[in-house]
Amino acid sequence: MENQFPKKQILNEDGVVVDDVYKSMLDESLVKTLYTKMLRARLFDRKGVNLQRQGRIGTYVPFEGQEAAQIGSSMAMEEGDWMFPTYRDHGATLTFGHSLKNVLLYWKGRQEGCIPPEGKKIFPPAVPIASQLLHAAGAAWAEKMKGTDRASIVYFGDGATSEGDFHEGLNFASVFNIPVVFFNQNNGYAISIPVEKQMKSKTIAQKAVGYDIEGIRLDGNDVFAVYFHTKAAVEKARSGGGPTLIEAVTWRYGAHTTADDPSKYRDQDESMIRRETTDPLARLEKYMQQEGIWDSSWQKQLEQDITLEIEASVHEMENEQPPHVNDMFDHVFAENPWPIEDQKEAYALVRGE
């Protein structure tokens, strides 16, 4: 099956374009925008880890190493489209227009962190595994029934493909020819479980065959491949061509969350090797240098500007009131049933209220 679903690549590890079809599409503005968004995501992610270690936010979910997959795919979407992220896809949501402050508030435990800017159709991060695939299919179906050309993109990891919601979402989207892109980031592990221990299939893309939809496998560290192939899938969806399952093969350098220790189950030398050989930002930098559109002073100024933007958002986040314990009781049901009210009262007694 790997032969039937080869890993599509446009930019190789040495920063060389290996698919001539796309050379004319790589204008300087697009390349620099992709790099800027990826660098912004990486610096934000590193800040998130540092904030957690300093006790300034709660548990944080890092994604460093997956920037090409998240930024390339989110850049392929348009205003009015829907985005359904997991708890790890803040690189994608920030690129699609979420605010830095609100993403930080989410990790601070504030309900406002689930609210995107006005007009942005970004669902709250899905913590239950694979549940968001059903939401994405439903929203895309609604758009189709309304006669719009809006599409959905939904993110999920390799572990989600072992959940029933994954199969239900793909089946529903296939049957009703729904405009949705199922975007899988396969980093080889579902927390501590390697992909070969949770599925016998050699690829995730091949799972599309069972639903008679298109399946594509990409080099998920190649931002050009992710951007152009996702864009094609979205355009196909808009024009009535139906859903696509995309498998972006990538690698996350860090832990599953800041509460996890990956050294217990994953060879950390592998991450060091991949950082040196397949890093998505380093690959793009090599390309820009070879094409004569790289300027070290531009990069340094860009990094300074992004850092200032992130620090300003941290300041805004920390000026907000801390979350209240009642938030977890008051925003689930329209009217709380008695067990919830009992728990709420018990917490109030503990706090001496």
The residues assigned a catalytic role are: 252, 256, 265
DSSP annotation string for 140-207:
HHHHHHHT----EEEEEEGGGGGSHHHHHHHHHHHHTT--EEEEEEE-SEETTEEGGGT-SSS-SGGG
303 with 43: CB under 8 angstroms?
A: yes
State the Cα–Cα distance between residues 326 and 66, nearest whole angstrom. 35
Which pairs with CB-CB distance under 8 Å and at least 24 residues apart come from 310-314? 310/43, 310/44, 310/47, 310/100, 313/99, 313/100, 313/101, 313/104, 314/47, 314/51, 314/56, 314/104
Structure tokens at 124: 């709250």
Contact in structure between 340 and 329 (CB atoms under 8 Å): yes
Q: What are the tokens at 234?
A: 């979205």
